[in-house]
Structure formats: C-alpha cells, structure tokens
Structure 1
Amino acid sequence: MIIVRAPLRIPIGGGGTDLPSYYSQFGGEWISAAINKYIYIIVNKRFDDSLRISYSKTEEVASPEQVQHPIVREALKLLGIKGGIEIVSIADVPSNTGLGTSGSFTVALLTALHAFLSNDIPPRKQIAEQACHIAMNLLKEPSGKQDEYIAAFGGITSFSANKNGEVAVTPLYPQIFSPEIVRKLENNLLMFYTGIRRESGPVLKTQAQAIDNLHQVRKIGQDIKIALAQNNFSEFGKLLDLHWQKKMERDGTSNSQINRWYEIAKKAGAMGGKLMGAGGGGFFVFYCEDKKEDLKKAMAAEGLRGEYFRFDFDGIKVIANFI
C-alpha cells in the first residue's frame, strides 16, 4: 500500500497569467501558497489484473480505457499501467471550491503511480509537468500551471513561465519572506466557505480573453510580493482589494451575492480579500488584522463557515510505502 498527499492552495497574486493563452504571448508570473488541506491518494496491488477506482463513486473495470474518471484514465495510460491496481482518493474539502483540487489530485495520483511502479519517484518539476500535460494536452482543459506546481512544491512560492511554458520556481520563505511575515499571514488571513461549488473551466475560458485585465493582475501580483517582503501589510491589504476590483471586471467571476458578502466583510474589518480559484463560488480568504472576531461573526451571520488553515511547506509527500 502507498499513501500520498498533495496540498491544496490559495493564490496570492498573478492568477490567470499561468494560462497558456497568456504566458505564450507575454510570459506569466504568479504567487501561490500551499495550505494544510490535502488530497490523499491510496494505491494498492490487486489480487487479479482488474482495476478498482474509488472516489465519489466506485469503478471496477478490466482496462484503463474503461475508466470513467478522466484524470485517472489518462494517468494510467500515460504511465503504462494496465491493471492489477486499486486507487482510492480522499479530500479534505469538496471539489470545485477554488482551492486547486484537480491539480493536487493529479500530482498526488502521478506520484503514487510512480511509487507503485518503482521507488524512483521523478523530481517535483517533472511530476508537475506531467500533471499539466494531462490537464492541458490530453484532456484539453482550459487550465494553467498554478495548481499543479504549487501542489508539487508547496510553501509560499513565486513562479514564472516563459513563452515556451517553462516554469521557474522561487521559494519566498525563508529566502525572501521572514518567519514574522509568515506568522502574520497565517494569523490574519481568514478563510470562509460560501457553500457554492462551481467548475472553473467556463470562467477560465473567459479569462483567457481578458488580456489587458491580466496585465494589471500581473502587476498587482508583483506589487504584493514587494509589499510582503517589506513587511508592509497595510499595502498588502489594499492590493488584495485592488485585485478584487480587477477580477470583478471579468465576466463570470462574481455575482450579486458574492459581491454582497465581500462588502459585508469589508465593513466588518477586512482590508481586502480574494475568492479562490477562477471565481463564482468556493472559498473566500480575507486579510483582517484588528477586527477578526467581528469578521467571523459577520460571515457566520451570513451562513459562511470559517475554515482554519496553516501553510504547508512539504508539497507532495509520500506518507507511507509498503509495496
């Protein structure tokens, strides 16, 4: 039996510039933070040559081509696994909630399958690229590289993609961000679940057309990195709010209810915030220093559940390998 976990993530800045429609023209630059909410993949040998896949439903099939789960099917085919395997997935949060579950799932699955085939697991970057290949090339999803890379590397990390899609990875902690900065972020970033689940694909297709908007979002992401490195959290909060305004200019990234919740949070003491992922639902994350209890009460009154988190600095991790 093999058990692998991959962290979920919150985007800090520059989201959307990881899409190939953008970085193939201008290069991309974004910051993500892995959090201690995880996707777990459990892999075990089967007694026979069949395949058993358990997620929100259970499949028992004779070949990879018969697997209905698209990511599992393509991962098995990519690595040449024909059968004799059982795969189980467990998630700390629901899918389609903006925390990068699909990317984390693929990274965890590929790592577990590599371990199943051999103890020689490829480097994190290779795993991330294989996961991106499945999403972008094999499944033709309108996705970028943010989720797969942060799941593989973990931490609070800056990524840049050149026009060919090659990604450079720069950990911001502890090289640039001090322990004090990390503590402030963990203490003052508050997460709330809207209860709304939504696929990101349609929104990402719209984002791909919003080039001018993404130029501005990229610049805001760069400014966020500078503000945090300088321990300027007041500016960080303002930049989050500016990013919100820019993101709301894109079609499909918000609605009247989402906007209403954001304004309630601002009045309750949030300096700025983000709706995770492509938008339209999922999780809010707000930055709030002095009125955290007021913010929690305001969100609870609206039926939004608080979700405690800390950062994850492990990235993809094999928890157990008994094969």
Structure 2
Amino acid sequence: MIIARSPLRISLGGGGTDLPSYYKQHEGFLVSAAIDKYIYVAINKPFNKGGIFRYSSMENSQDVDSIKHPIIREALKLFDEKNLQIEISSMADIPAGTGLGSSGSFTTALLKALYVYNRRYLSQQDLAELACFIEIEKLREPIGKQDQYIASVGGISSFAFHKDDTVTYSALNLSSKTLYQLEDNLLLFFTGFSRSASEILKDQKIRSDNNEDEILNNLHYTKDIGYKSKKALEEGDLISFGELMHEHWQHKKNRSSSMSNEKINEWYELALTNGAIGGKVVGAGGGGFLMFMAKDPEKLRQAMGKEGLEEVRFRFDFEGTKIVLSS
C-alpha cells in the first residue's frame, strides 16, 4: 500500500499570469502558498487482474485506454501498463471546484504514488513538470502551472514562468512574526458555489492568444501586483499586502463576467466594513472560497458567519507532495 498526499493552495498575488497563453509571450510571475488541506491518493495491488479506480465515481477497467478518468488514464500510460492489476483511490479534505487547485494537487499526488509504487525516483521539479505535461500538453486543459508547482514544493513561494516554458521558484524570506500573522489574519470562507476553472480560464486563453489589449494589460498589471505582494510580505507590511489583494480583485473581476456574481460582491463589500483590509475569490473565480486579509479577524468571522458562510481555518504546509505511507 502506497499513500501520497498533496497540499491545496491559495494564490497570494499575480495569479493568472502562469497560463502558457500569457507567459510564453510576456513571462509570468506570482506568489502562492500551500495550505494544510490535502488530497490523498492510495495505490494497492489487488489479487485479481484489472484496474479499480475510486474517486468521486468508481470504475473498473481491464486496460488503460478504457479508463474514463483522464488524469489517471494518462498517468498510467507513462508506465506502459498493458496488463492492469492496480487499485487507485483518492480522498480530499475539500471538494474539487472550490478554487484551491485540487486538480494539480490530485495529479501530483497520483504521480508521486505511482513512481514510488514502481520504485522510481522523481524530484519535486520533475514532479511538477510531469503533472503540467499531463494536464496542459496531453489533456489540453486551459490552465496554468501554479497549482502543480506549489503542490509539489509546498511552502510560501514565488514562481517565475519563462518564455521557454521553464519555471524558477524560491521560498519567500518571511519572518516568523509575519508567518504567524498571516496564518492568524488570512481567512477563508466557502461561498457555497462550485465551478469549473477550465471554463473561466478558456476565455482568458482565447483572448490572450488573440493578443487582446484589454486582457493583456490586465495581466501585466496583475503580474506587477505579484511583485509588489512579494515585497510587502517580505517586509512584513501586511496592511499593504491586504490593500494589494483588494486592488488585485478589482482587476481580476474585469477579466471575465463569470469571475464574480451579485452575491459574492455583496459579501465582499460587507467584509470590507467588518474588519477586512482586502480580499478576493481564490482561484479562477466564479465561486469557491473568498479569502480576506483581516485587521479584525473576529469581527470579520462574526459578519460572515451571520451570512451563513463557513470558515475553513488553515495553516501553511511546508512539505509539498510526499509519501505518508509505504508498506
């Protein structure tokens, strides 16, 4: 039995510039953080031939090509599994479609588990790139590289996405005080809405590919906010960081009409008058989680609680994708 876990993530600035449609022309930059909410993938060898796959659905397959789950199918193809005899199960602390990068986390956990199961080594960098290869190159998902990289390496890191398709990254130089303040004052509330990130990001990809000035200028501005966010965090200036989150959200909403809705806008304005400095919808938008930088977290919790929004408390993860059981 092999069990791997991979952390979910929150984007702290510059999100959206990690899509190939943007960074291959202009280079991208963002700051992201792994949190202690996880996706787990377990692999076992059953007695009988065939494949058993348990996720939000369950399927049995006798060969790789007939597997319905696209990521599992493409991952198993890497190992030339002609005669299946494997059982793969997944569980998640938080469901998919909520803006925390679950697809990238699932892919990295699956690949890590498969490599250990097949007694092969895979570095963090190679794990991230292989996950990107499956999702972006093989499956043609209109997504970026943030989720796979932050899930692989963990921590609070900045990522630069280069025109030649390479990615460089480094951990932010944060003081212990800043780290604890972030964990105490960054609050996540579930909106109750789930959505497909691919549908929202598809529009951004098309507009970027067409070199539309409006979307490109928006992403240039967002990238600059990513640099400013890194600077504010490393200087321990969390007031400025919260204000940058607010600025980021105002521009993010302009990328797509699906980015927000009337209810999310109402909650956001309520938060600003009840202890929040700034915030945004995490991920591609349209639902999932609202994240706020709070100057008065208890006041904000009370206001959001009265609206029926459930808070998910978290701490940061500094381990990335790892094996938690091998027997």
Q: Is the 8 A contact 2:39 2:90 kept in 1?
A: yes
Does residue 317 of structure 1 match 2:322? yes
Alignment of 1:164-183 (within 5 A): 164-172=164-172, 176-183=173-180
Q: What residue in structure 1 maps to residue 65 of structure 2?
A: 65
Does residue 155 of structure 1 match 2:186? no
The Cα offsets for residues 164-217 of structure 1, whole Å up to 9 and x where unpaired, read as: 110001111xxx111111111001001100111000012112223221100000
2:248 counterpart SS class: helix
2:131 counterpart SS class: helix
Matching residue within 218, 239, 246 for 1:241: 246
Q: What residue in structure 2 maps to residue 15 of structure 1?
A: 15
Residue identity in the other structure for 1:239 = L
The Cα offsets for residues 3-27 of structure 1, whole Å up to 9 and x where unpaired, read as: 1000000001111110000000011
Residue identity in the other structure for 1:30 = L
Give the distance between the partners of 1:242 and 1:146, measured in 2 at CA.
21
Q: What residue in structure 2 maps to residue 250 of structure 1?
A: 255
Give the distance between the partners of 2:48 and 2:264, measured in 1 at CA.
50
Alignment of 1:279-290 (within 5 A): 279-289=285-295
Q: What residue in structure 2 maps to residue 197 of structure 1?
A: 194
Q: CA deviation at 1:49?
A: 2.4
User: TM-score scaled to structure 1, two decimals?
Assistant: 0.96
User: TM-score scaled to structure 2, two decimals?
Assistant: 0.95
Residue identity in the other structure for 2:260 = S
Residue identity in the other structure for 1:100 = G
Give the distance between the partners of 2:165 and 2:15, measured in 1 at CA.
15
1:60 counterpart SS class: strand
Q: CA deviation at 1:240?
A: 0.7
The Cα offsets for residues 32-54 of structure 1, whole Å up to 9 and x where unpaired, read as: 00000000000001212200000
Q: What residue in structure 1 maps to residue 283 of structure 2?
A: 277
| Alpha-carbon RMSD | 0.9
Does residue 260 of structure 1 match 2:266? yes
Alignment of 1:1-323 (within 5 A): 1-82=1-82, 83-118=84-119, 120-172=120-172, 176-208=173-205, 209=207, 210-251=215-256, 252-289=258-295, 291-322=296-327
Residue identity in the other structure for 1:267 = T
Give the distance between the partners of 1:80 and 1:133, measured in 2 at CA.
17
Count of residue correspondences: 317
1:99 counterpart SS class: coil
The Cα offsets for residues 216-256 of structure 1, whole Å up to 9 and x where unpaired, read as: 00001100111111111111111111001111111121111
Give the distance between the partners of 2:41 and 2:47, measured in 1 at CA.
19
Give the distance between the partners of 1:234 and 1:126, measured in 2 at CA.
36
Residue identity in the other structure for 1:254 = S
Q: Is the 8 A contact 2:31 2:229 kept in 1?
A: no
Give the distance between the partners of 2:187 and 2:168, measured in 1 at CA.
29
Give the distance between the partners of 1:307 and 1:28, measured in 2 at CA.
29
Unaligned ranges ≥5, structure 1:
none
Give the distance between the partners of 2:251 and 2:204, measured in 1 at CA.
12
Q: What residue in structure 1 maps to residue 210 of structure 2?
A: none
1:271 counterpart SS class: strand
Give the distance between the partners of 2:170 and 2:157, measured in 1 at CA.
6
Unaligned ranges ≥5, structure 2:
208-214
